[in-house]
């Protein structure tokens, strides 16, 4: 059984003894040399924990493992360091638990059932990586600069960074060759002291990594999901919440975004999810092919598997573990998307820990600092100018699981205050097998004005106008359907019935996507624009034709209408000329109708 903390430090210094055990919360006494948020080991099994409260010679520790069998009087060992993540080559493609212990290594140590107190370094300490230096000796360096690189996967270069808090003169650098993450690859002189540089570094989980500054959020994160990209887009570096009741497709939506979005790195956090659901993720993702590279999707993915049967304190820490990894890759100049599934389980862990520490509860038993913690988490997103001079981003996509689908509960309401994009999942759409089940009535995006110039430049100049037209039609359809329920569709004039027809076409031919169809599961920017343009043109020409006396029945009988219905399946992403052919047939069909009735 190992007595190492994650990262490899031995826990030899006794700082106190156990006084009281209350589930994952342990009270210790005799504390003489400790600091807030220090990483500790509790009892003879060296259970990993974090010191969260200090009072005179007493301390409160939240333990990240099962405390069954821990007795008063057992020693508490201090590490002298904050709960930190070891960062370096080898993170990509690895599956971790909530406190960054690699599950594959733990499996080799203890078998299918993990023993308490065991741990392993987050990255392989013995594996050699081929290091390519990018700086010369004698260079004045600052924290966060790139000193070299390692080819971690076939298409991914891991950029080796100088620790953010270190600066000085690079007095030596290793030649190109193979090194472990603990071997010195350079030396920096600062105030006449020499500091060795390794390929790995550590950073406290709860502390945001420093940057030079924030940049404007004016570039969209393209997901290939039309309801997201066209109606409710998110910018790179943005924040979004996906609330929905059980079975509405939160996890499925995050999986689709993780597979198809144009982020360089995906960090997927299974925070308090059911074991069978997390097993499905672990079995499915390694078999998926990355559409951008044609290689295994795990070559740009990091998984944090923290299921609902692990202690709640580890669930609380897993969110910070994931966002710290994301910031590390952002600092290398990459764009990272973080999938947190789900932040409601994280908030429930906060509530349980707060109750065990006998803190005063706020609404629905959640701690009074719940809004602060949610804000601190989403604040770590952004499109940044990094210390190395490159631009990188962290996009946070958090699922919310309100009990009973009640969006008025505290976690959903507080989350809405701190995110700028809201993809509300609708149970009726999910029951009707309309996926993604994102409601076009309750969802919104505050990034539209920021990213509209990008769409107009890269897709079409009238993108914003077409989107506004279709959103206005969807709002009108709601009011018209209320009338239809009272008096029936025949009571409406043809112009209003045509609005309902157009919205039905838009929902079936545009918003709904089939993940099993090769042409429909992902739509490029240009395909989305062309499809939207066709449907808007269909409405505008149809509205004009009805004013000129054309009947609704004749419009419905046009052969081109079936082309619109089937275009998402029949036209590939790179076959944009087919959309122009449909547009020409559509124009001719309406010209003929107007000529007949005119």
Segment 216-271, tens digit of pLDDT: 999 999 999 999 999 999 999 999 999 999 889 998 899 899 989 999 999 999 88
Segment 428-441, tens digit of pLDDT: 999 999 999 999 99
Residue ranges and CATH numbers for the domains of the chain are: 13-110 (2.40.30.20), 129-199 (2.40.50.100), 213-446 (3.40.50.300), 463-597 (1.10.1140.10)
Give the whole-angstrom CA distance, residue 538 versus residue 560. Answer: 10
CB 209 within 8 A of CB 203: yes
Predicted pLDDT at 455: 97
CB 242 within 8 A of CB 475: no
Task: Quote the Cα angle for 514-435-244, to 5°.
Answer: 155
Q: What are phi and psi of 546, to 5 degrees?
A: -65, -40
User: What does 390-406 look like in DSSP terms, one character per residue?
Assistant: -EEEEEEEEEE--GGG-
Predicted pLDDT at 116: 85
Predicted pLDDT at 12: 66
Give the whole-angstrom CA distance, residue 268 versus residue 95. Answer: 10
Predicted pLDDT at 2: 40
Predicted pLDDT at 159: 97
Cis-peptide into 536, omega within 30 deg:
no
- CB-neighbour burial class of residue 56 (10 A; exposed 0-12, middle 13-18, buried 19+): exposed
Q: 155 pLDDT band (50/70/90 cuts)?
A: confident
Predicted pLDDT at 10: 47
Which residue from 272, 261, 249 is spatially nearest to 319, judged by alpha carbons? Answer: 272
Predicted pLDDT at 18: 96
Number of Cβ atoms within 10 Å of the Cβ of 119: 25
Predicted pLDDT at 215: 95
| pLDDT exceeds 60 at position 95 | yes
Q: 4 pLDDT band (50/70/90 cuts)?
A: very low
Segment 102-152, tens digit of pLDDT: 988 888 888 877 788 888 999 999 999 999 999 999 999 999 999 999 999
Tokens found for residue 586? 């559509």
**Which tops the pLDDT comparison, 65 or 277?**
65
- What dihedral angle (degrees, nearest 10) is formed by the CA atoms of 38, 43, 46, 52? -20
Give the whole-angstrom CA distance, residue 264 versus residue 258. Answer: 10
The 3-state secondary structure of 456-515 reads HHHCCCCHHHHHHHHHHHHHHHHHHHHHHHHHCHHHCCHHHHHHHHHHHHHHHHHHCCCC
Tokens found for residue 253? 């939506």
Q: In this predicted structure, which of 34-48, 106-120, 570-584 has the lowest mean pLDDT?
A: 106-120
> 396-433 in b/e burial notation, b at 16+ Cβ within 10 A?
bbbbbbbeebebebbbbebbbebbbbbbbbbbebbeee
Tokens found for residue 242? 């996906």
**What contacts 59, CB < 8 A, 6 or more positions away?**
16, 27, 28, 29, 31, 34, 51, 53, 76
Which residue from 326, 320, 280, 333 is spatially nearest to 302, judged by alpha carbons? Answer: 326
Segment 420-475, tens digit of pLDDT: 999 999 999 999 999 999 999 999 999 999 999 999 999 999 999 999 999 999 99
Rounded mean pLDDT, 340-357: 92
Q: In this predicted structure, which of 83-87, 189-193, 274-278 has the lowest mean pLDDT?
A: 274-278
Rounded mean pLDDT, 260-287: 83
Give the whole-angstrom CA distance, residue 219 versus residue 236. Answer: 6
Q: 6 pLDDT band (50/70/90 cuts)?
A: very low
- CB-neighbour burial class of residue 154 (10 A; exposed 0-12, middle 13-18, buried 19+): exposed
Number of Cβ atoms within 10 Å of the Cβ of 351: 21
| pLDDT exceeds 90 at position 272 | no
**What contacts 555, CB < 8 A, 6 or more positions away?**
498, 501, 542, 545, 546, 561, 593
Predicted pLDDT at 5: 46
H or E stretch covering 148: strand 146-151
> Collapsing DSSP states into helix, strand and coil, what is residue 314?
helix
Rounded mean pLDDT, 285-296: 76
Predicted pLDDT at 9: 47
Predicted pLDDT at 598: 63
Give the whole-angstrom CA distance, residue 185 versus residue 174. Answer: 5
| pLDDT exceeds 50 at position 385 | yes
**What mean pLDDT value characterizes the chain?**
92
Tokens found for residue 564? 């619109």
| pLDDT exceeds 60 at position 334 | yes
Cis-peptide into 31, omega within 30 deg:
no
Which residues are registered as beta bridge partners of 172? 187
Question: What percent of the chain is modeled with pLDDT above 70?
Answer: 98
Q: What are phi and psi of 220, to 5 degrees?
A: -75, 150
Strand segments, DSSP code E, in 282-375 are 301-307, 335-341
Q: 281 pLDDT band (50/70/90 cuts)?
A: confident
| pLDDT exceeds 80 at position 507 | yes
Segment 521-576, tens digit of pLDDT: 999 999 999 999 999 999 999 999 999 999 999 999 999 999 999 999 999 999 99
């Amino acid at each position: 059984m190992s007595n190492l903390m994650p990262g490899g430090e031995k826990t030899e210094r006794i700082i106190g003894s156990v006084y009281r055990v209350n589930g994952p919360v342990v009270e210790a006494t005799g504390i003489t040399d400790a600091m807030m948020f220090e990483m500790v080991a509790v009892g003879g099994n060296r259970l990993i924990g974090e010191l969260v409260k200090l009072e005179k010679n007493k301390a409160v520790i939240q333990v990240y493992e099962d405390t069954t069998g821990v007795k008063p009087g057992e020693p508490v060992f201090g590490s002298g360091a904050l709960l930190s993540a070891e960062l370096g080559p080898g993170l990509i493609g690895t599956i971790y638990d909530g406190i960054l212990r690699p599950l594959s290594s733990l499996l080799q140590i203890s078998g299918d059932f993990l023993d308490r107190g065991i741990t392993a370094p987050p990255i392989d300490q013995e594996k050699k990586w081929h290091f390519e230096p990018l700086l010369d000796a004698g260079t004045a360096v600052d924290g966060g600069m790139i000193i070299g690189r390692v080819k971690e996967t076939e298409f991914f270069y891991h950029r080796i960074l100088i620790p953010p808090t270190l600066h000085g003169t690079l007095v030596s650098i290793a030649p190109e060759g193979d090194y472990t993450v603990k071997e010195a690859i350079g030396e920096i002189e600062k105030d006449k002291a020499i500091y060795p540089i390794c390929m790995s570094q550590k950073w406290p989980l709860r502390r945001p990594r420093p940057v030079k500054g924030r940049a404007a959020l004016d570039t969209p994160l393209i997901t290939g999901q039309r309801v997201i990209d066209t109606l409710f887009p998110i910018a790179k570096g943005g924040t979004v919440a996906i609330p929905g009741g059980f079975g509405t497709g939160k996890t499925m939506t995050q999986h689709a975004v993780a597979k198809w979005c144009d982020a360089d790195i995906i960090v997927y956090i299974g925070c308090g999810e059911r074991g069978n659901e997390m097993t499905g993720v672990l079995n499915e993702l390694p078999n998926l092919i990355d559409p951008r590279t044609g290689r295994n999707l795990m070559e740009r993915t990091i998984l944090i598997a923290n299921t609902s049967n692990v202690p709640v304190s580890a669930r609380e820490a897993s969110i910070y573990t994931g966002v710290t990894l994301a910031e590390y890759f952002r600092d290398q100049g990459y764009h990272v998307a973080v999938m947190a599934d789900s932040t409601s389980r994280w908030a429930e862990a906060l509530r349980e820990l707060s109750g065990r520490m006998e803190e005063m509860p706020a609404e629905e038993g959640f701690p009074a600092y719940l809004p602060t913690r949610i804000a601190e988490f989403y604040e770590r997103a952004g499109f940044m100018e990094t210390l190395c001079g490159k631009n990188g981003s962290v996009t946070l996509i958090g699922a919310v699981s309100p009990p009973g689908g009640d969006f008025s509960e505290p976690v959903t309401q507080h989350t809405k205050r701190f995110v700028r994009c809201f993809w509300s999942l609708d149970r009726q759409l999910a029951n009707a097998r309309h996926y993604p089940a994102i409601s076009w009535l309750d969802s919104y995006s505050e990034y539209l004005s920021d990213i509209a110039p990008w769409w107009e430049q890269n897709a079409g100049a009238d993108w914003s106008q077409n989107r506004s037209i279709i959103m206005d039609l969807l709002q009108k359809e709601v009011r018209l359907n209320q009338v239809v329920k009272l008096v029936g569709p025949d009571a409406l004039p043809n112009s209003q019935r045509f609005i309902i027809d157009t919205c039905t076409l838009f929902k079936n031919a545009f918003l709904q996507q089939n993940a099993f169809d090769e042409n429909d599961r992902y739509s490029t920017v240009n395909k989305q624009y062309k499809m939207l343009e066709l449907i808007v043109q269909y409405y505008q020409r149809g509205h004009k034709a009805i004013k000129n006396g054309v009947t609704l029945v004749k419009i419905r009988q046009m052969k081109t209408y079936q082309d619109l219905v089937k275009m998402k399946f029949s036209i590939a992403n790179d076959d944009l000329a087919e959309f122009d052919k449909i547009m020409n047939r559509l124009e001719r069909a309406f010209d003929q109708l107007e000529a007949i009735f005119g």
